[in-house]
Structure 1
Amino acid sequence: MLSEQPYPVGTRVVVQGKRGPEVAKVRGEATVPEPQARYGAVLRAATPEDLTRWEDLHRQGEDLKWLLRARARERQLPVKLVAVEFTLDESLVTVSYSAEDRIELSSLIGELRKHTRARVNFAAIGPREQAQMIGTLGACGRENCSSTHLQDFAPVSIRMARDQQLPLNPEKLSGPCGRLLCCLQFEHTQYVDLLKDLPRKNAKVCHEGSGACGKVTKLHPLSGTVDVHTDQGMLLGIPASELKRLPDAPAPKPKRDQPEA
């Protein structure tokens, strides 16, 4: 799917977008292998005519966005119109919007028909897609991943933060969109592999060298060590390879004269 011809970083090219041909800028080498690329194939280098047409279509889309916003307010439609975008061949115009409930927007199609003959597509988007289209800065100080290289949004769960031993602070784990950070998924598989060699938290262990025993209180997957709170009240950082794991104590059997909970 990706063009074999190399284009320098910063070059404007015509690519096969999600809905049709678009103008894009080369930002670096492709990170998605060719068989896995769903879209983004470079069709050719953008010509001056392509760039002029793309700029005109962008201005037209911006004008239509503000027009539709005004018409939506007049009709008291509970909707947020995020963007109006044309394909380079002007065969399709996509109106991206967000709304809390299902909403009928067919009344706005007539407004679009007055200004374009392109086929109209209304696309409901979520917070992540809004951040992708608008563009924001992440906690790292760089552009958010969704606006730079992500083609699709993979599911992100709080379990990924737990596996990476991150503090479960919603403010630190959420991106500008208010959802869990997309970057939590990038290294998750590596952390899962590292955790396989570590005892679980709260496990009873003994240090083979000193003989000190205690309970695991914290894991450090990258260094391969764990914090152990010993029976003598000390907190030790010990390599997992030097620990012997003790079997868990069996759960007490319920008394016969008392029913099980």
Structure 2
Amino acid sequence: MNKYLAIYGKPRYLGLVEYDGEIKKGSTLIVESVRGEELAVAVGEINAEQEAAYRLLRNASEHGDGMAKNSEPVVTDLTFMAFASDDDIETAESYRAEEDRILKEAKELLTPHNLEMKLIDVEFLRAKRKLFFYFSSEQRVDFRAYVRDLAREFKTRIELRQVGVRDEAKIIRGVGPCGQPCCCSYWLNQFAPICIKMVKEQNLALNPAKISGICGRLMCCMCYEHEAYHEAWEGFPNPGTKIKTPNGNVIVAGIDLPTKSLRCFIVGKGEVKIPKDKFAEFKDVVTSGGEWVVPEEEIEEPDLKIQDIFPKCMQCAGHHERAAAEQKREENAGKRRSEDGETNAEQRPRGNKKRKKHHPKHENQTAGEGQDGLREETPQKVKNASDNRPPKEEKAAPGGEERPKRHFQRRRRPNAKKGGDNAAAAKAEV
């Protein structure tokens, strides 16, 4: 007889099925359990050693999780009846859709009873022979009147089962702080006892929000690395240990497990990091009154070079880019010089431009003579003394180009007062 492991029920109970033939993994079976006829999913074949290990799994009630004493054991024996047909699977899926509606109606019926209980989920057995209600509560609840109302409403046998907060997270399912589905909702077979000592040995922050799961209890993953940390702590003194010395007490401030070293506080020196293998030597030195000399850390140069890590084509990429950029810059500069030469050949040299700025009158005369006398200098009357002032020099823009003239009118100084010396001089000039 071959034995197979199967899963049945919403709380994911484990069962052992005996069958002469072969059952494929993932096949749906019709089995009979202590609850009655129901569907189960085959996980795989197990040997005698695996069966003995599953038999040793303890119930969650033994861990003090608030489960009822009459709860199902972790592993039960199932009786194989037949393989489930497509109609049986479709009927079971229709039951799952109907269970959502029943859960809402059951919560409405619970309101007038004022019972301190929380309905979690509902489950139909095969052919609707029994209806299970799973609830959680911090204390015992007298729900006899509530059961009668449920039986009158749904016309079937009703059974209420109390579960703990960890089983509540197992049934409802969810996402843990790590971003993955909760371990209890898809692969964890039993709840192991977890204490705060495991958290302290792993040097984790004692913050309930960070070390608790969605069930409100300590996360199950705290026990996964407990054995490794327990072995790492061997040979280390407890944090806070005092070493009496003639110069004062040396206190072990903390343990750094990744580097396997201790942080010791020495009076007058502060914290000193000491490797685990040198702690006995350090203790002998300080207890005898000596002074511990902190060895200098030697920085070892890496054996690998850049040429070993990166290929030559990647190393020369930056050099080629710089050379191409310089070549392009030189070509642009040559084009700019040729363009400037063509434009300067048509125009006057830059020296004449500066002469234009400093001698505007001379520029007007030369411009008039260059056009074969077409333009003649026409004298204008000076209206005010301010008009007789020489024009201000304009600063040349960088690159030798002239700045464009401003379109707005400059502010002028106020005219001289009547009767003043400046006014008399202006009249005399006129």
Q: Which residue of 1 aligns with 2:13?
A: none
Counterparts of residues 101-250 of structure 1 (less than 5 Å) = 101-114=139-152, 115=154, 117-118=156-157, 120-204=158-242, 214-244=250-280, 246=283
- TM-score under structure 2 normalisation? 0.47
Hey, what's the Cα distance between the residues in 1 that align with 2:179 and 2:33? 28
Q: Secondary structure at the match of 1:242?
A: helix
Q: Which residue of 1 aligns with 2:64?
A: none
Question: Are residues 221 and 108 of structure 1, via their aligned partners in 2, closer, same or farther at CA, if it must alter by over 3 Å?
Answer: same
Kindly indicate whether the alpha-carbon contact (under 8 Å) linking 2:136 and 2:162 is maintained by their aligned counterparts in 1: yes
Equivalent AA in structure 1 for residue 278 of structure 2: E
Hey, what's the Cα distance between the residues in 2 that align with 1:49 and 1:237? 70
Gaps of 5+ in 1: 207-212, 250-261
What's the CA shift for 1:172?
0.7
Kindly indicate whether the alpha-carbon contact (under 8 Å) linking 2:23 and 2:42 is maintained by their aligned counterparts in 1: no
Counterparts of residues 83-98 of structure 1 (less than 5 Å) = 83-88=121-126, 90-98=128-136
Q: Which residue of 2 aligns with 1:73?
A: 111
Hey, what's the Cα distance between the residues in 1 that align with 2:203 and 2:178? 18
Equivalent AA in structure 1 for residue 274 of structure 2: I
Hey, what's the Cα distance between the residues in 1 that align with 2:213 and 2:241? 33
Question: Are residues 36 and 53 of structure 1, via their aligned partners in 2, closer, same or farther at CA, if it must alter by over 3 Å?
Answer: farther
Give the structure with higher Rg (CA): 2
Deviations 1:83-138 (A, max 9, x none): 111344655432111234322112233344343544x3312223222221111211
Hey, what's the Cα distance between the residues in 2 that align with 1:97 and 1:171? 25
Equivalent AA in structure 2 for residue 36 of structure 1: A
Hey, what's the Cα distance between the residues in 2 that align with 1:140 and 1:16? 38
Q: Secondary structure at the match of 2:75?
A: coil
What's the CA shift for 1:16?
8.4
Question: Are residues 116 and 218 of structure 1, via their aligned partners in 2, closer, same or farther at CA, if it must alter by over 3 Å?
Answer: farther
Q: Secondary structure at the match of 2:120?
A: strand
Kindly indicate whether the alpha-carbon contact (under 8 Å) linking 1:79 and 1:99 is maintained by their aligned counterparts in 2: yes
Hey, what's the Cα distance between the residues in 2 that align with 1:16 and 1:61? 21
Hey, what's the Cα distance between the residues in 2 that align with 1:153 and 1:174? 14
Counterparts of residues 15-54 of structure 1 (less than 5 Å) = 21-24=38-41, 33-37=50-54, 38-39=74-75, 47-54=85-92
Q: Secondary structure at the match of 1:167?
A: coil
Q: Which residue of 2 aligns with 1:259?
A: none
Hey, what's the Cα distance between the residues in 1 that align with 2:33 and 2:241? 51
Kindly indicate whether the alpha-carbon contact (under 8 Å) linking 2:133 and 2:159 is maintained by their aligned counterparts in 1: yes
Deviating more after overlay: 224-233 vs 154-163: 224-233
The alignment status of 1:56 with 2:94, answered yes or no, reads: yes
Q: Which residue of 2 aligns with 1:99?
A: 137
Which structure has greater strand proportion? Answer: 1
Deviating more after overlay: 15-24 vs 45-54: 15-24
Which structure has greater helix proportion? Answer: 2
The CA RMSD over aligned residues, in Å, is 3.7
Question: Are residues 121 and 36 of structure 1, via their aligned partners in 2, closer, same or farther at CA, if it must alter by over 3 Å?
Answer: farther
Hey, what's the Cα distance between the residues in 2 that align with 1:98 and 1:143? 21
Deviating more after overlay: 134-143 vs 219-228: 219-228
What's the CA shift for 1:143?
0.8
Hey, what's the Cα distance between the residues in 1 that align with 2:93 and 2:183? 25
Q: Secondary structure at the match of 1:243?
A: helix
Kindly indicate whether the alpha-carbon contact (under 8 Å) linking 1:23 and 1:46 is maintained by their aligned counterparts in 2: no
What's the CA shift for 1:188?
1.6
What's the CA shift for 1:226?
2.5
Gaps of 5+ in 2: 6-21, 55-73, 288-430
Count matched residues. 235
Equivalent AA in structure 1 for residue 256 of structure 2: H
Identity score, percent? 24
Equivalent AA in structure 1 for residue 251 of structure 2: K
